[in-house]
Amino acid sequence: MNFELTEDQLAIKMAARDFAENEIAPTQIERDKEAKFPYEIVKKMGELGFMGMMVAPEWGGAGMDTISYVCAMEEISKVDASVGVIMSVNNSLVCFGIEKWGSDFLKDKYLKPLASGQKLGAFCLSEPEAGSDATAQKTTAVKDGDFYVLNGMKNWITNGTTADYYFMQAMTNPELGYKGISTFIVEKEMAGVETGVKEDKLGIRGSDTCSIGLNNVRVPKENLIGEEGQGFKFAMETLNGGRIGIASQALGIAQASLEAATKYSKQRKAFDAPIANLQAIQFKLADMAVNVDAARLLILQAAKLKDDKQKYIKEAAMAKLFASKVAVDCALEAIQIHGGYGYVREYLVERYLRDAKITEIYEGTSEIQRIVIARELLKA
């Protein structure tokens, strides 16, 4: 596989870097401290094409490939992983599925505003008793004339209070187990949708996460995506791409940790010389750099397979499993290199650790990624 970026991909990476440094960096500290959602930044990202990067231009997107997307995700998340996850969910978990399986009516009504950044989306699969065991859905959708009536509770929904539209899973036929799950587009403004209180999180505090209650929500039958019973397949296939996005978010955090640690080690003096002269520090930097590059290569491999329309389930899970561990490890090492300064909020590395941890949990825990990888290996 050739991983050299084309001129266009490189230009997108640089545009994302400029945007992140000029527009996202200045407010990153207050966003983390005050758990503030970056409304203005998300709006500008929409105008620049970052919210529907892989969607075809006819449906309001930027028509780019997955490699460009992972490059942009890394650069944005390197500066602020909260902004990264908002972007990742809208692109990978919402726009992707509507474009792939939605009717032209749904694409016109929902995908165009989502992909052009006028509206924001959220992905609703998890429930209080259906996290890793995603097949255990309790939310129901009962047909009633030209509507489905939805009842249930969704948990841990990224963009939960800020999204306009939800890519929602619900059971249309509970007797069939996961083959009875269907996908709907639900609007936040529909009667009976209740967003819960924003979770007070350890990290990615600029993104909002909440539960969503559905109380007799009447959803027009046109808002069913595909056919009844296809929802679990849609959710799993969507998550395969989502995992590439989260792996890129993790990579951004790891790269930021490496750069912060390298810079600090050249400035900080101990024993009459910069600590970068010490082998103890050099070994840490070297290990971080190897892991960061290895994570990037795994991500590019998964992205390339997706762009080439080949199977990428295993490779996406491998990229997420590895990159998320690298993010946590690199953030920890960056703190260690900063010593006491790394443990206080004055430096950014303590936030990198808080932001990194979630990448080992959402869009499938590391344990789930291992299950996915092993099952794919054993199928071969």
Which residues of the shown chain bind ligand CAA in the complex (CB under 6 A)?
89, 123, 125-126, 132, 134-135, 157-158, 178, 232, 236-237, 239-240, 313, 362-364, 368, 371-372
CA 224, distance to chain mean position in Å, is 24
The amino acid present at 215, given as its one-letter code, is N
| Two tokens, residue 149 | 């009536």
Least Å distance, CB 317 to ligand CAA, is: 7
Burial (Cβ within 10 Å: 0-12, 13-18, ≥19) of residue 64: buried
Considering the complex, what minimum distance in angstroms separates the CB of residue 372 from ligand CAA?
5
Judged by CB, which is closer to ligand CAA: 239, or 254? 239
Q: Is 363 a catalytic residue?
A: yes
- Sequence-distant (6+) residues with CB within 8 A of 349 are 257, 260, 261, 331, 334, 335, 338, 342
Residue closer to ligand CAA by CB (options 111, 157) is: 157
Least distance to ligand CAA, CB of residue 302, Å: 12
Q: Which of 129, 194, 363, 376 is catalytic?
A: 363
**To the nearest whole angstrom, how small is the minimum distance from the Cβ of residue 15 to ligand CAA?**
25
CB of 41 to ligand CAA, least distance (A): 18
Q: 184 vs 362, which CB is nearer to ligand CAA?
A: 362
Minimum CB distance to ligand CAA smaller for 17 or for 357: 357
Nearer to ligand CAA, 110 or 232 (CB): 232
Which residues are annotated as catalytic? 363
